[in-house]
Structure 1
Amino acid sequence: MFFGGDPFEHFAHAGGMPGGGRRGPPRDVDTTKLYETLGVEKTADAKEIKKEYRKLAVKHHPDKGGDEQKFKEISAAYEVLSDEEKRAKYDKYGLEGLENEGGGGRSPDDIFSMFFGGGGGRRSGPRKGESINHPIKVSLEDLYNGKTVKLAINRQVIIGDATMCEACDGQGAVMELRQIALGMVQQVQRKCPSCTDGYKCKTKKERKVLEVHVEKGMKNGQKIQFRGMADEKPNMEPGDINFIVQEKEHDLFKRKGADLLITKTLSLNEALCGFEWSLKHLDNREIVIKSRPGEVIKPETVGGQPFVKIVSGEGMPSKGNPFVKGNLYVLFRVEFPTDGELDEATVATLKKTLPDPSMPVDYDEDEAEVCHLDAADVKNFGKGGAETHNDAYDSDDEDGQQNVECRQS
Structure 2
Amino acid sequence: MSLQKNVVCGLCDGKGGKASAIKKCTTCDGRGVKLVVRQIGPGMMQQMQVTCPGCDGEGSTMREKDKCKKCKGVKVVNEKKVMEIFIEKGMRNGEKIPMKGEGDQQPGVEAGDVVLVLQQKPHALFERSGADLSCKITITLVEALCGFSKILINHLDGRGIHVEQPAGNVIKPGQVMKITGEGMPHYKRPIDKGDLYITFEVEFPKDNWAAAGSLKSLEALLPKRGPTPMEPELVDHCTLEEGDMEDYGAHTHTGNAYDSDEDDDDHGHGPGVQCAQS
TM-score (norm 1): 0.49
CA distance in 1, matches of 2:80, 2:250: 69
> Would you say 1:339 and 2:207 are equivalent positions?
yes
Give CA deviations for 1:375-402 in whole Å, capped at 9, x if unaligned.
33455556669x78xx59943647x995
CA distance in 2, matches of 1:329, 1:283: 17
Give CA deviations for 1:137-159 in whole Å, capped at 9, x if unaligned.
xxxxxxxxxxxxx5454332262
Cα deviation for residue 352 of structure 1 reads 0.8
Work out which of the residue numbers 251, 259, 263 in structure 2 matches 1:395: 259
Cα deviation for residue 353 of structure 1 reads 0.7
Query: In 2 relative to 1, CA 254–378 (structure 1 residues): closer, same or farther, beyond 3 Å?
Result: closer
CA distance in 2, matches of 1:404, 1:357: 59
Work out which of the residue numbers 112, 125, 143 in structure 2 matches 1:252: 125
Q: Does the CA contact (< 8 Å) of 1:157 and 1:206 recur in 2? A: no
Structure 2 unaligned residues grouped into runs of 5+: 17-21, 62-73, 269-278
Work out which of the residue numbers 368, 375, 389 in structure 1 matches 2:242: 375
CA distance in 2, matches of 1:184, 1:368: 93
* Residue type of the alignment partner of 1:175: L
Give the structure 1 partner of residue 7 of structure 2: 156
Residue 246 of structure 1: SS of its match in structure 2?
coil
Q: Does the CA contact (< 8 Å) of 1:229 and 1:239 recur in 2? A: yes
* Residue type of the alignment partner of 2:242: A
Residue 178 of structure 1: SS of its match in structure 2?
strand
CA distance in 2, matches of 1:343, 1:381: 35
Query: In 2 relative to 1, CA 274–192 (structure 1 residues): closer, same or farther, beyond 3 Å?
Result: farther
Query: In 2 relative to 1, CA 206–339 (structure 1 residues): closer, same or farther, beyond 3 Å?
Result: closer
Give matches, 1:204-283, under 5 Å.
Answer: 204-278=77-151, 279-283=153-157
Root-mean-square deviation over aligned CA pairs: 4.1
Q: Does the CA contact (< 8 Å) of 1:165 and 1:195 recur in 2? A: no
CA distance in 1, matches of 2:258, 2:58: 77
Residue 350 of structure 1: SS of its match in structure 2?
helix
* Residue type of the alignment partner of 1:282: L
CA distance in 1, matches of 2:133, 2:247: 37
CA distance in 2, matches of 1:361, 1:177: 96
Give CA deviations for 1:215-265 in whole Å, capped at 9, x if unaligned.
112222222211111112245331111222222232222222222222111
TM-score (norm 2): 0.68
Counting matched residue pairs gives: 243
CA distance in 2, matches of 1:331, 1:197: 65
Give CA deviations for 1:276-328 in whole Å, capped at 9, x if unaligned.
3323222222221221343211123xxxxxx2111111111122111111111
Give the structure 1 partner of residue 50 of structure 2: 190
Query: In 2 relative to 1, CA 294–191 (structure 1 residues): closer, same or farther, beyond 3 Å?
Result: farther
Work out which of the residue numbers 327, 340, 348 in structure 1 matches 2:216: 348
Give CA deviations for 1:152-196 in whole Å, capped at 9, x if unaligned.
543322625699976657776433223457765443443444345
CA distance in 2, matches of 1:377, 1:322: 45
CA distance in 1, matches of 2:228, 2:80: 84
Work out which of the residue numbers 184, 187, 197 in structure 2 matches 1:316: 184
Query: In 2 relative to 1, CA 206–276 (structure 1 residues): closer, same or farther, beyond 3 Å?
Result: same
> Would you say 1:295 and 2:169 are equivalent positions?
yes
* Residue type of the alignment partner of 2:194: G
Give the structure 2 partner of residue 178 of structure 1: 38
Query: In 2 relative to 1, CA 362–236 (structure 1 residues): closer, same or farther, beyond 3 Å?
Result: closer
Cα deviation for residue 358 of structure 1 reads 5.1
Query: In 2 relative to 1, CA 174–294 (structure 1 residues): closer, same or farther, beyond 3 Å?
Result: farther
Query: In 2 relative to 1, CA 396–214 (structure 1 residues): closer, same or farther, beyond 3 Å?
Result: same
More helix by share: 1
Work out which of the residue numbers 326, 341, 345 in structure 1 matches 2:194: 326
